[in-house]
Structure 1
Amino acid sequence: MNSILNKEPVLRAEKSLKQFNPDLKVIVLEETARTAKDAATALGCKVGAIVKSLLFKAEDSFVLCLVSGDKRCSLNKLKKILDKKDISMASPEDVKKVTGYTIGGVSPIGHLIKIKIFIDETLNRFSCIFAAAGHPNAVFEIDFENLKALTSGEIKEITE
C-alpha cells in the first residue's frame, strides 16, 4: 500500500501539496480511482466532487482543464477562450511529457512543464473536492478556493 506513496509522480504531487499547505495529504485508496465514477465510489462522494484533470493540445501549446466529474469539457468553449481553431485531447505521450503523469493519475499540480490551467466553475458546488495525486489510487482532498490558489488556475466556463 505504502509503495504507492513512494512512487515518483505521487511524491511530486505531494511535494506541491505540502509546499502549499503542510496539512494537506495524499490519500491512498484501496480501489482504483482511474475514472471519476470509480473515485466517487471509493471515496463515497458525488461524482461531481471529483476533479478530472484533462490535458488539451491547443495548436502549439497545452492547457490543463480541471473539470467536475459529472461534466464534459467543451472544445467549442475552449476554442473561444483561447482563440484557437485547432484543439484536441492531448495524446498519452504528450500527457506524460507535459505533466509527468500517466492518464488515470494526472494531478492538477506538480507538472514537469508550467502549463495554463482552467478550472471548471461548477466545481464550486462542493465544499470539498478530490483530485488525483499522480497515481490511479492516490487522491487529495481540497476546497474550491484552495484548488484555485494551489494551481493558479483561472476559473472558466468550460463545460457543456
Structure 2
Amino acid sequence: MSKSVKRVQKALGALKLDTSIQHMPGSTRTAEDAATACNCSVEQIVKSMIFEGAETGKLRLLLVSGKHTVDLARAADIFGETLIRADPRRVRSETGFAIGGVSPVGHLSETDTWMDAALLEHDRIWAAAGAPNAVFSVAPQELKDATASKIFQIG
C-alpha cells in the first residue's frame, strides 16, 4: 500500500468515516472508469479537482460530481475570484497526492474545500483514496461534514 493510500486510510479513521478503501483491478482515474469499477452511476463519482485562486494563489479543492465540469468563466461569481488550474507539482507538494489520485481527505496541508450540491442527492458517493486504483464510498453528508466543505451549485 502506498504512502498516499495509508495517509487516506489514517485520515478516514481519524474522521470516523464509516468506510474502507477498496483497490480496483483497473484504473479509476476518470469518472467513467471509476463508475464502471465501482458499479455505480457517474453522478456518484467525486472528482477531486484542485484549482488556484488567480488573485490570492490559494489552493481550492472542488469535490465535483462526475457528471459535471467546472466552468472557470463562472468561478469568480461562485468562489469570489477567478480560478486557474493548479500546477501538478504544487498539487503534489501541498496535498501529497498526484493528479488522478487526489483524495478529499488526508491532505498534507489544509485546503479550502467546496462540494458540488449534486453529490448530496445520493445515498453513497465514491472518491479517490490516494492512488489511481484506490477508492472509498461514503455518505455525502458525512464527507461534507468531515471536509468542512462549502456547498456550490453547478449549472
Pairs within 5 Å for 1:10-159: 10-21=5-16, 23-59=18-54, 60-84=57-81, 86-157=82-153, 159=154
Instruction: Give the superposition deviation at 1:22.
Output: 6.1
Structure 1 counterpart of 2:127, which letter? A
Q: Is the 8 A contact 1:18 1:25 kept in 2?
A: no
Separation of aligned partners in 1, 2:51 and 2:147: 17
Separation of aligned partners in 2, 1:19 and 1:126: 24
Q: Is the 8 A contact 1:98 1:112 kept in 2?
A: yes
Structure 1 alignment gaps of length 5 or more: 1-5
Q: Which moved more, 1:133-142 or 1:17-26?
A: 17-26
Please report the TM-score for the alignment, with normalisation by the length of structure 1: 0.90
- The number of residue pairs the alignment matches comes to 153
Instruction: Give the superposition deviation at 1:44.
Output: 1.0
Per-residue CA shift, 1:24-55, capped at 9, x if unaligned?
A: 21111111101010000111110010000000
Superposed CA RMSD = 1.3
Structure 2 alignment gaps of length 5 or more: none
Which of structure 1's runs of 4+ aligned residues deviate more than 6 A? Answer: none
Separation of aligned partners in 1, 2:80 and 2:144: 23
Instruction: Give the superposition deviation at 1:150.
Output: 1.4
- Partner SS state of residue 80, structure 1: helix
Separation of aligned partners in 2, 1:139 and 1:96: 18
Work out the percentage of aligned pairs sharing the same amino acid: 37
